[in-house]
Amino acid sequence: MKKIITNTVIAGAVAFAASQFITDSADAAPKEKEKCFGVVKAGKNDCASADDKHSCLAQATVDGSGQEWVSLPKGLCEKLVGGSLEPFEDK
């Protein structure tokens, strides 16, 4: 009986620790997002293009188009090669 109680207490402690880790990780996740143009792979865009050539996600036809965007955590876009917070003309 004592072993069952000990195992239950240990299992409860592990579950509590895991729930705290998950909660802490979720709280640390950035909540603000921004549109990042110029870094999208073909077929991996979020929603409509800036030039209205299409109105849905996953319809980008070329890599790195300045008209296609993806939603990224705030502050990340400008750290990426080719990333821009504003749409731009393709070369």
pLDDT digits (tens, 9 = 90+) for 54-85: 999 999 999 999 999 999 999 999 999 999 99
- Between 82 and 12, residue with greater pLDDT: 82
- The helix (H) or strand (E) run that includes residue 71 is strand 69-73
Percent share of the chain, pLDDT over 90: 64
Contact 43, 58 (CB under 8 A): yes
> Do 35 and 76 have their domain in common?
yes
Which range (15-19, 34-38, 53-57, 84-88) has the least confidence?
15-19
51 plus 8 within the same structural domain: no
- For residue range 21-32, list pLDDT tens digits in order: 444 445 555 589
What's the number of domains the chain is made of? 2
CB atoms within 10 A of CB 48: 16
Query: Which range marks the domain in which residue 84 is found?
Result: 31-91
Distance (Å, rounded) from C-alpha 16 to C-alpha 36?
38
Say if residues 65 and 83 touch (Cβ distance below 8 Å): no
